[in-house]
Amino acid sequence: MSNSNSIFLLLILTLTLLLPTALTLSQPKPIQALLKHLDSKRASPSVQEAAAKAVLKRLLPECYVPSFQFKIVPRDVCGGQSCFLISNYNSSSKNGPEIVIKGTTAVEIASGLYWYLKYWCGAHVSWDKTGGVQIASIPKPGSLPIVKDDGVMIQRPVPWNYYQNVVTSSYSYVWWDWERWEKEIDWMALHGVNLPLAFVGQEAIWQKVFMDFKISKDDLNDFFGGPAFLAWARMGNLHGWGGPLTQSWLDQQLALQKWILSRVLELGMTPVLPSFSGNIPAALKKISPSANITKLGNWNFVDAKCCWSCTYLLDPSDPLFVEIGEAFIRRQVKEYGDVTDIIEHGFSELPNFFLH
């Protein structure tokens, strides 16, 4: 991909995510090409249908499961866009399906399910702190509200619904286990999120990458921040504070990330993975003395010593920047597979996306 095309795609994608009202349902050709390419990375229709049904099983009592039928459909059914369709199941049987929900991905099906439960059944699904799952208003199976006429089709107004930011992934999510992540991913699917940030486990990837550049585990102990300060360390604000990270913690976070990615992919989501921002361990200055590396200022100190600030930043124009950045992406592909073309450099709280 040429630099001009990359810049153009980056601009279009940023506008799509941050200025959704500026776009119409007719997508520019670069967006169409990207959507088509990302579609090739999605799970099969049968896997996505099963994933959507699993969301249903976790949301409602088992007796409701036979009342819904899910099916993946191509975008052509939705006028070339992503969408979900809700209709009645044409059968007189009271023990079989009542409502049919079709969608271009499992996310569309899940969001269609929530749309039906919310607007036809008066249900509400929120975080625990804002009411949680409220489903008492849903009629019993066999008595679910019918959809008028031929049903309803809801098109997605923009290609992506992005969720999370690089700071929250450290302050809150770092304490979550798989059970909590599974609940959050279900919430994402029900609310139509199809572009979630996936920042868990990146320290384990960085450990492997930097060790390939002859940086020792001891040096990395002084580089990584502790679990509560990962966002600060990842952005180059501090190093070592709250650490070191144990090997068992690093391994556990990497395993958790693989569970997360497996689930979001089953649901037809496109994960956004981290990339290299230029933040490096101090040891790289000695290993690569000719590299254009800047030691940042001392913004916080103890006894006038530069203990946890004074981090090091590699200039983006330096060839070593590209070498490390490519090595990080290759390592992620090796660990997770070729699951996305969208990455985030993690240097600010706003989404800044690059295509690789």
Q: What is the pLDDT of residues 232-278, one digit of tens each?
A: 999 988 999 999 999 999 999 999 999 999 999 999 999 999 999 99
Local confidence band at 305 (pLDDT 50, 70, 90 cut-offs):
low
Token pair for 308: 């946890």
pLDDT at 351: 44
Name the residue with higher pLDDT: 170 or 188.
Answer: 188
Report the distance separating Cα 176 and Cα 181, nearest Å: 6
Token pair for 182: 């599974």
Cβ neighbourhood burial of 167 (10 Å; 0-12, 13-18, 19+): middle
Local confidence band at 33 (pLDDT 50, 70, 90 cut-offs):
confident
Local confidence band at 346 (pLDDT 50, 70, 90 cut-offs):
low
Distances (CA, A) of 304 to 207, 237, 300, 301, 309: 30, 17, 9, 6, 12
pLDDT at 93: 62
- Rounded to an integer, the average pLDDT of 125-131 is 92
pLDDT at 287: 96
Q: Are 285 and 310 in contact (CB under 8 A)?
A: no
Q: Are 125 and 58 in contact (CB under 8 A)?
A: no
Q: Supply the mean pLDDT for the chain.
A: 88
Report the distance separating Cα 193 and Cα 180, nearest Å: 17
Local confidence band at 2 (pLDDT 50, 70, 90 cut-offs):
very low
What residue spans of the chain are helical by DSSP H?
3-18, 29-39, 45-59, 106-119, 168-171, 178-190, 202-212, 217-221, 230-234, 247-266, 283-287, 319-336
Tally of CA atoms within 13 A in the half-sphere of 47 that contains its CB: 12
- Rounded to an integer, the average pLDDT of 18-25 is 39
Local confidence band at 300 (pLDDT 50, 70, 90 cut-offs):
low
Q: Are 325 and 333 in contact (CB under 8 A)?
A: no
Residue-wise burial string across 274-283, b where 16 or more C-beta atoms lie within 10 A, e elsewhere: bbbbbbbbbb
In the predicted structure, residue 159 carries a pLDDT above the cut 80: yes
Token pair for 73: 């459909």
Distances (CA, A) of 197 to 31, 38, 57: 19, 16, 25
In the predicted structure, residue 19 carries a pLDDT above the cut 70: no
Peptide bond preceding 244: is omega within 30 degrees of 0, i.e. cis?
yes
In the predicted structure, residue 170 carries a pLDDT above the cut 90: no
DSSP state of 148: P
- Rounded to an integer, the average pLDDT of 198-215 is 97
